[in-house]
Amino acid sequence: MTQARTARCGTSAKGHLLVVDDEPTVRELLPAALCYAGFDVDVAADGEEALRVAAHRPPDLVLLDVMLPGIDGFEVIRRLRALPRAAGHGVGGDVPVLFVTAREDRQDRIAGLTLGGDDYITKPFDLEELIARIHAVLRRTKGEPSGILTVGDLELEPEGHLVTRAGQPVRLSPTEFRLLHFLMVNAGLTMSKPQILENVWRYDFDGDPSIVDTYISYLRRKVDRADPKLIHTVHGIGYVLRGPRA
């Protein structure tokens, strides 16, 4: 039987994660990086052990490999999704799952998301992107957007519709505010113009994408008047909001 390992980061941890991977290097290095990023991490090397660990100490999110010894990641998520939410015990069927796997075939990605996965990232992955995706999934599933969002020295308070940069208020129109909120909720992730249209303007994909460019320009004049710049263009794809690199 494999032995789970815990990398505890103290009571101030941003969330409790379960990393499930059969590669020793991943089980060693990834939890250390996530711990450094402020998370509390449990580790399991196969699917059966993952289910036992999750039942004993329910995580806020599972980082799940597909190719595992014994039962694979797809079977693990099937069993997780079949579990009832038990008061005080058991992971429950609603735990978020982010697939982290070397299997990049489109059908594998579709299968993982169809089975209830919340996101899917392939190896080798960029650590900053993975951490950004973890935050994005936790925000979506735990209702975190209702709290204050912070990226670098930029802060946004959704309930009060307040935005500050380096402590100074930033006045935004309602549409500019919705756009900034969407980018901050997904900080570190590149958002395509269709995604922005659908989530900010509620348009289907046949909406005019030029409106996105126009409002990004408006937003930059107000938010990125000083360095470091936070809103970046990813040519041919869309836009990303990210904090200054160390």
Per-residue tens of pLDDT for the chain, all 246 residues: 444 555 555 444 578 999 999 999 999 999 998 988 888 999 999 999 999 998 888 899 999 999 999 999 999 988 887 766 544 444 556 788 999 988 777 777 777 777 778 888 888 888 888 888 888 788 777 654 446 888 889 999 887 788 999 889 999 988 899 999 999 988 889 999 888 888 888 655 456 778 899 999 999 999 999 889 999 999 988 999 998 864
Separation of CA 91 from chain center: 19
The residue assigned the tokens 């450094």 is 36
Cis peptide before 228 (omega within 30 of 0): yes
3-class DSSP assignment, residue 121: strand
Q: Is pTM beyond 0.75 here?
A: no
3-class DSSP assignment, residue 115: coil
Beta strands in the chain (DSSP E): 5-7, 16-20, 40-44, 61-64, 97-101, 119-122, 149-151, 154-157, 162-165, 168-169, 191-192, 231-234, 238-241
Q: Where in the chain is the domain with CATH 3.40.50.2300?
A: 6-142
Q: Where in the chain is the domain with CATH 1.10.10.10?
A: 149-241
In the CATH hierarchy, which top-level class contains the domain 6-142? Answer: alpha beta
In the CATH hierarchy, which top-level class contains the domain 149-241? Answer: mainly alpha
